[in-house]
Structure 1
Amino acid sequence: MKQFLPRQLQGFMAAGGLATLFHWFVMAALIAAGLEPTLATASGSVSGAALNYGLQRRLAFRNAGPHRVTLWRYIGSCFVAWLCNLVFFFLLNNVLALSVPLSQVVTTALVAALNYIVYQRLVFHEQTR
């Protein structure tokens, strides 16, 4: 029986889904504690990124290079993703005046698509021997 999605994409979605839930949990907790939503999503995305690295290596990119290489690439990609998350959320929430939940869902979809391409091509690129 043929799989609907490739294993790597399934793993990426599972790992990213768990990391995203953690991001949103941290974000919601910080907003409930009184932190401004843009700062809360920035903090939540850092929390999700920390969890995501190990999950991506285990579930999606099993043949990635050594940690000493991929970890630094991942940190660089996280910085870019963090900035994208912050800019997209700010634009959607503050400029377009979308609600916090809708702004974060759209932001997450945009950043996830970007991350898959970056992870596959730059961060966890399989090493040729």
Structure 2
Amino acid sequence: MKKFLPLQLQGFIAAGGLATLFHWLVMAALIGAGLEPTLATATGSVSGAALNYGLQRRLAFRNAGPHRFTLWRYVGSCFVAWLCNLVFFFLLNSFLELPVMLSQVITTGLVAALNYIVYQRLVFHEQTQ
């Protein structure tokens, strides 16, 4: 049977899916506790990113360079992804007035596509000596 997705992309989706689930759980708990949705998604995004680093190295980018290089590039990429998450969510939820869940689903898809490209080309690529 032929594989539909490359192994790296399968790992990226699995790791990202688990991290996204954690992001959404944190977000939902914070909204349930009364926090404004934009702040809740920003906090959830940071929580998911912390989990995602180890998952991405284990499941998708097994031949990544040493932590001393990849961790700092990952932190930088997370800052960009966090800003994108915040801006996309704000525009969809506050400006276009889409519901919270729809806004977050669309935002997650956009940020995930961006992350795959950034992780593959800048964060977890193999180091040459």
* TM-score normalised by the chain length of structure 2: 0.98
Task: Kindly report structure 1 stretches of 4+ aligned residues shifted beyond 4 Å.
Answer: none
Letter aligned with residue 107 of structure 1: T
CA distance in 1 between partners of 2:38 and 2:127 (Å): 37
CA distance in 1 between partners of 2:81 and 2:119 (Å): 11
| Unpaired segments ≥5 residues, structure 2 | none
Deviations 1:102-129 (A, max 9, x none): 0000000000000000000000012235
Aligned CA-pair RMSD: 0.7
Contact 1:63–1:127 (Cα < 8 Å) also in 2: no
Deviations 1:33-60 (A, max 9, x none): 0000000000000000000000000000
Aligned length: 129
Letter aligned with residue 67 of structure 2: H
Identity within the alignment, %: 88
| Unpaired segments ≥5 residues, structure 1 | none
Contact 1:81–1:115 (Cα < 8 Å) also in 2: yes
CA distance in 1 between partners of 2:127 and 2:5 (Å): 23
Q: CA deviation at 1:2?
A: 2.1
